[in-house]
Structure 1
């Protein structure tokens, strides 16, 4: 089991989150806990940097979708950047790339 670490930089409504590790059934609750309060702020602009995330399962996707929905409810925005080919494919297959602001490493998702 791989661990997940995160670093959050928050400046007013702009919140940057750098994740490192794997997002799975064990680490997803920690991620939800870390981001839930931010996603409930009115007008929050959250950017999640995923370039150091090697793996994400459906539990991780569920957390991301939950955060996305919370933000939408509160007039906020979620951007995912630095996705590896593997992660980008996961978002493409599930159709989430069509509704979310998803940027792969190739697309200059810095």
Structure 2
């Protein structure tokens, strides 16, 4: 169970590309890396999930935490490249109604 995290900043937006599984084992690593990138005011973060093949509730918790961190400092978070399976997970939990989600990939790392 591994996860790959690529981060780059371009034109004032932080682009994150996640690949692999986000679960109880990998979530702390993802959270640490994304929280580091989310520091500051007015941060815009675009997270590409097209390479994520599995996510559990721990992974959802990471995105809720990042979302709250960004919103508290006038930032924005967009989740892109979401598979149908991940989209369903966000729909069931109601997070799709709160977060900016797009199935298409934007930008790139």
- TM-score (norm: length of structure 2): 0.92
1:5 is aligned to 4
Aligned position for 1:33: 32
RMSD, matched Cα: 1.1
Q: TM-score, length-normalised on structure 1?
A: 0.91
Structure 1 unaligned segments of length 5 or more: list them.
none
Shift of 1:39: 1.5
Number of residue-to-residue matches in the alignment: 106
Would you say the 8 A contact 1:24–1:58 is kept in 2?
yes
Helix, strand or coil: the match of 2:80? Answer: strand
Q: Which 4+ runs in 1 deviate beyond 4 A?
A: none
The residue aligned with 1:44 is: 43
Q: Which protein, 1 or 2, shows the higher relative CO under an 8 Å CA cutoff with sep ≥ 6?
A: 2
